[in-house]
Structure 1
Amino acid sequence: MEEGHKDSSDSATSSDVDRLRLKELPQTIERRSSRLWKLTAIHIVIIIAFVGLLLGAYMASRNRKTLARPQLNTLTNGSSIFAPTTILISLDGFRADFLHRNITPSLNSFVRAGVSPEYMSPSFPSVTFPNHFTLVTGLYPEAHGVVGNSFWDPELKEDFYYTDPTRSMQPKWWNGEPIWVTAEEQDVRAAIHMWPGSEAHIGIEPTFVDKYQGHEALTNKVDRILGLLDLPGPHDKGAKPENPRPQLIAAYVPDVDRDGHLYGPNSTEIRSTISSVDSMLGHLFSGLEQRNLTDIVNIIIVSDHGMATTSTSRLIQLDDIIDMSVIERTDGWPLYGLRPKNDSDIEPLYSQLKQEAANMDGFDVYLKDRDMPERYHFSQNDRIAPLWVIPWTGWAIVVREEFDVAEAKKTGQVYHPRGVHGYDHEHPLMRAIFVARGPAFPHTPGSKVDVFQNIEVYNLVCDSVGISPKPNNGTLRLPLNPVGLHDSMPPQEIPEDLPEDVVSTSIAASPEIAKTTSTPTQASRPTIATTDAATPTRPVIHDDVSQEDEDQNGKDTNLWWDWVKGKLDGAKDWATGLYDTVSDKISGAAADSGNSR
């Protein structure tokens, strides 16, 4: 065969291939068209899913914003616009039945105008520092860590003494978030006047902090509170961001507790002190009325515990019962937490003390990890000593170097302090008060609610100023649910106090109170009503929005857009990955199809 000429068989084969390709061309076009429609459909699905994701994200963001930062209304007194504002006042040592001594006209009038239980139960131990921190955190003392007015921390290897601010006012001791931090974190300004723990620099500092002054004139407290309310609001002329009007004001009044310790809860002196504190409240109420703020500002008045009378005849000489040389540390007062030098001594000491308690009056004995009453909520913290001697109400435990009981009985020496608390928090003599009035408490005047414990106060104050509380042990929320009116129900039974030693005023007025802690009691223990949590309701008023709210709305918008952009980037990555996967599958399918031909 000559070069340049094709074989006839090759020519025939080429023609056959061309005819075959022409025959398959419509099918190829159809397959490519089908793949194009599939790709288009996939992209449409991706776009629809992405738009749905965006819409869902937007709606979820709106819902989250509504829950986290509810749109709060404001009130006006005719000259200034007020955001929800609450004054919380603690009357240290004000026993619930002090209201029935006919010496508190202002406070009794406040009860008739507001809403309150017969009494509020403190937490155990019923002493000042643990209960004041419970009031502003909603946590039991075992949870927030301030388990007494004095205690030992085995991890820090340090003592806490409430009388030593250089030690006690350090944040390491305070393990809960107080309400002034909760408020400031949510752009609600707080002013705290002498509240125990407020000088400890816990988290965000309150806008205003007044240091403790034990003998501050009561009139100064009224002037301070009213002066804070007189500051310009955000809409007022002369408003200054560095000196804003606070929405939360918490003030501490130590007078009743101080004089109750010095003179006893049934003394002439304490009646005078209670009357003076009541007059202070009357001046505050008048100041609010003069400013047309009676129905604008919430007022909540509480106390931290009650008070019981002491006597030399109701003392336990601890060193007559056990060998104190085996004890390394004692915590608390009037109850005693014992920390032996050797853990092996805990069980023998417990057995010895239990046997003594069975044969004599005045005290109970508990091991923290075995038989501590569950209702005390006083076992889940290493700061709680392993062994406790807890006196009955009105009794006290002493060691001889502090007070020799036998010698005192011989000479007629009177035990001081004349009044003591720290006992079983459910004993009638330890009962505290809670009374509230204002737009957050829109109840019939004189409404009565079930008795509750002071772990509930934190949530109620948060609700009253429109902030979200941190997790806590309380369950009660606004609105409160009255069970009737005080006037229409039988009067509260007044608890009978214990007898006191006869002593002249000059003798009674001298002692210096060294410590204050807690104790339980053998007595009838009232049942504390449990209240289910309810959705908080905010004060209903007109809808002015402050510049601060507008600024916050802008911040929320920026936060929402940042969140959306994050979702967009994630969706983009998802769509790109899906597209690449689909494309790879289509390309692979096409290659397989070509290979099969």
Structure 2
Amino acid sequence: MNRLTDHLIVISFDCLSSHDFPVIKKLPHFQELLKRGSYCPNVESIYPTVTYPCHATIVTGNYPKRHGVVNNTYLQPGRISPDWHWHRRHIQGTTLFDEAKKAGMKTGALLWPVTAKADIDYHMPEIFANRPWHHQIPVSLMNGSVFYQLDMNRRFGHIRNELNQPELDDFVLESAVHTIKTKNPHLLLIHFTDLDTQRHYHGFSSEEAMNALKRHDNRLGRLLAAVKENGTSDNTTIAALGDHSALDETTCIQLNVLFKEQGWISVTPIGKVTNWQVYCHSCDGSAYIYIRSKSDKDLTKRVNALLLQLTREEENGIEQVLTGEEAGALGADPHCDFMLEARDGYYFKENLEGDFLHHVTKEDVRAKRYTYACHGYSPKKENYATFFAAAGKGIRPHQKIPAMRLIDEGPTFARLLGLDLGDTDGSVVEGLLTEERE
């Protein structure tokens, strides 16, 4: 298969929404990308619309039920800070970076989710120090490119303020610019989370979120400039995209509180889970319900009856109850017993203590116990799309694609690099691409 470009840089602006288009089209560097290239203001994400499943979808072209990353976190009932699906081994099947490496291309990834321990040449994985005895730098080093990360930390580590934003994205930016100028990889994946963080803790349309969009525009400008300075503009494609949108919320649904009252979750006096039969695994705007014993049909009926009873009153915040089969048909985890969709203004948490419904306060958000906005809702929700734009080699200029899907991005990127992801849920967006290499 012919390559349409020599270099592909994929920039994920976490939580970039279709609603941001009227803002970013007026910002100078997004404006430059849009003038040179093509875009889609209406990209349908996947279910659940959370970061790790979304990013696994972007590099595989598949829905979560096929690539296996069905939520950000493991199912670890009662754990205050569950482990995330950080590692490449969690993705079933091949990926864009795997195929690029097989083809002899140089690859890079900066804080791209679900890549820890991946075979990537210049690699700084997104992985947290999630144990009291862990330290962030050794954890990152052990799961990515050791000498590359040491060099980036030596050069730019002073910019970071632990994992706080916007300093973390500023560190990633400087590392990415240096990588473009000195390593010139054929495929570079970059993940920025500043906007997502601001929306969680200040609200979707907050001043803080709008300022993050402006910072992202400056970051995009620095990356565009790095490609020009490197002399590879004519042979490079740059894609800027979002993974999901977000919605404001005011009330948290804490179903495990009810499950504990029903005797389906047992805890010690200090709140440690000792046994569970039914558990709500949050995806924020949606939630999986898992029943431990699949053969207990009576328990399944009782859980179903409770959930349906809760949906009858709008103030309980549950909009829809899906079976595992119905969830799988939408691309989510078919092994769940039920999947719940929250109403607008509501979201789910896994807390075992407190009230079933918790109204979020400023103190809650300041302490980072709860948020003002989140995602994870069904991609079919109205006005809940994300965004895609690309420019450069292999991209037709001045095309507006009315609608596409997140699952289409991986196959389209593979086509640009002359790679094949195999049989995928998504398909190449032909309207974005030139017919053949010039």
TM-score under structure 2 length normalisation: 0.76
Mapped partners of 2:351, 2:94: distance in 1 = 40
Q: Which AA in structure 1 matches 2:120?
A: P
- 2:181 equivalent in structure 1: 230
Does the aligned pair in 2 maintain the 1:463–1:478 contact within 8 Å? no
CA distance in 2, matches of 1:260, 1:251: 20
User: Which residue of structure 2 lines up, in the alignment, with residue 252 of structure 1?
Assistant: 191
Distance 2:248 2:17 in 1: 12
**How many Å apart are 1:288 and its aligned residue?**
2.8
Other structure's SS at 2:432 match: coil
* 1:450 and 2:372 matched: no
Aligned position for 1:135: 58
Q: What is the CA-CA distance between 1:318 and the residue it aligns to?
A: 2.9
Using a 3 Å threshold, how does the CA distance of structure 1 residues 470 and 224 change in structure 2: closer, same or farther? farther
Output the amino acid matched with 1:283: R
Q: Tell me if structure 2 keeps the 8 A contact 1:129–1:162.
A: no
- Other structure's SS at 1:191 match: strand
User: In the alignment, which residue of structure 2 is the partner of 1:539?
Assistant: 437
1:187 and 2:104 matched: yes
Tell me how far apart the structure 2 counterparts of residues 277 and 185 of structure 1 sit (CA, whole Å): 32
Letter in 2 for 1:270: A
Q: Look up the equivalent residue of 1:125 and give its one-letter code.
A: P
Residue of structure 2 in register with 1:593 after alignment:
none
Aligned to 1:110, the other structure's residue is in SS state: helix
CA distance in 2, matches of 1:292, 1:172: 36
- Residue 121 of structure 2 corresponds to which residue in structure 1? 207
Map of 1:582 onto structure 2: none
Pick closer, same or farther for the CA change 1:294–1:472 going to 2, 3 Å.
same
- The number of residue pairs the alignment matches comes to 378
Match of 2:158 in 1: none
Over 3 Å counting, the alpha-carbon distance change for 1:200 and 1:406 in structure 2 is same
Deviation at 1:371, TM superposition (A): 4.2
The structure that has the greater radius of gyration is: 1
**In 1, distance between residues paired with 2:93 and 2:80?**
17
Find 1:422's aligned residue among 367, 376, 387: 376
* Counterpart check, 1:460 vs 2:412: yes
Change (3 A) 1:88 1:370: closer
Identity %: 18
Name the residue aligned to 1:197. Answer: 114
Deviations 1:8-39 (CA, angstroms, capped at 9, x unpaired): xxxxxxxxxxxxxxxxxxxxxxxxxxxxxxxx
Match of 2:312, SS state, is helix
Displacement, 1:479? 5.1
Indicate if the aligned counterparts of 1:256 and 1:270 stay in contact, CA closer than 8 A. yes
- 1:276 counterpart (215, 218, 227): 215
Which structure features the higher share of strand residues? 2
Opposite residue 89 of structure 1, the aligned amino acid is I
Q: Which residue does the alignment assign to 1:330?
A: 280
Alignment partner, residue 200 of structure 2: 261
More contact order relative to length (CA 8 Å, sep ≥ 6): 2
Shift of 1:388: 2.3
| C-alpha spacing 1:162/1:468, structure 2 compared with 1 (3 Å) | farther
- Which residue in the other structure is 2:157 paired with? none
Number of the residue aligned with 1:124: 47
Question: 2:87, 2:115 within 8 Å by CA — same for their partners in 1?
Answer: no
Change (3 A) 1:324 1:298: farther
CA displacement at 1:291 relative to structure 2:
4.2
Relative to its length, the structure with more helix (as a share) is 1
Deviation of the 1:144 alpha carbon? 0.6
Displacement, 1:254? 1.1
1:90 aligns with 2:90: no
C-alpha distance in 2 between matches for 1:398 and 1:217: 26
| Correspondence 1:172-571 to 2 at 5 A | 172-201=89-118, 205-212=119-126, 214-215=163-164, 216-231=167-182, 245-312=184-251, 315-318=252-255, 323-327=261-265, 328=276, 329-334=279-284, 335-342=286-293, 343-344=296-297, 345-361=299-315, 362-372=317-327, 374=329, 376-380=330-334, 382=335, 385-398=336-349, 401-404=352-355, 416-443=370-397, 445=398, 447-478=399-430, 480=432, 537-540=435-438
1:426 to 1:108, Cα distance in 2 relative to 1, 3 A: farther
What is the SS of the residue equivalent to 1:311?
strand
CA offsets per residue over residues 455-501 of structure 1, 9 Å max, x none?
A: 011111111122222321112244537xxxxxxxxxxxxxxxxxxxx
- Alpha-carbon distance in 1 for matches of 2:175, 2:364: 39
Q: What one-letter code is carried by the residue in structure 2 that aligns with 1:397?
A: F
Instruction: Letter of the 2:7 partner, please give it.
Output: T
Distance in 2, matches of 1:84 and 1:150, equals 35
**Structure 1: distance between partners of 2:187 and 2:81:** 27
| Deviation sequence 1:259-317 (CA, Å, 0-9, x none) | 211111121211111211111112222333344444331001111111111113xx435
Give a deviation string over 1:397-439, Cα, whole Å, max 9, x none. Answer: 3566455367858x98656211110001132453211100011
Contact 1:115 1:437 (8 Å CA) reproduced: yes
Is the CA contact 1:149–1:160 (under 8 Å) kept in the aligned structure 2? no
Is the 1:308–1:421 Cα contact (8 Å) retained in structure 2? yes
Distance in 2 separating the partners of 1:435 and 1:160: 40
Q: What value does the CA root-mean-square deviation take over the aligned residues?
A: 3.1
Quote the offset at 1:139 in angstroms. 0.8
Offset at 1:163? 6.4
> Quick one: which of 23, 27, 38 aligns to 1:115?
38
- Give the distance between the partners of 1:159 and 1:145, measured in 2 at CA: 19
- Whether contact under 8 Å (2:49, 2:377) holds in the other structure is yes
d(CA) in 1 for partners of 2:170, 2:213: 14
- Residue 239 of structure 2 aligns with an amino acid whose one-letter code is I
Q: 1:357 to 1:275 in 2, by over 3 A?
A: same
- 1:121–1:454 Cα contact (<8 Å) kept: yes
The alpha-carbon deviation at position 393 of structure 1 amounts to: 3.5
After TM superposition, give the deviation of residue 178 of structure 1 in Å.
Answer: 1.8
Asked if structure 2 preserves the Cα contact closer than 8 Å seen for 1:161 and 1:168, the reply is: no
SS in structure 2 of the partner of residue 184 of structure 1: helix
Deviations 1:559-585 (A, max 9, x none): xxxxxxxxxxxxxxxxxxxxxxxxxxx
| 1:367–1:387 Cα contact (<8 Å) kept | yes
Gaps of 5+ in 1: 1-66, 74-82, 153-157, 232-243, 482-535, 541-597
**TM-score, normalised via structure 1 length:** 0.57
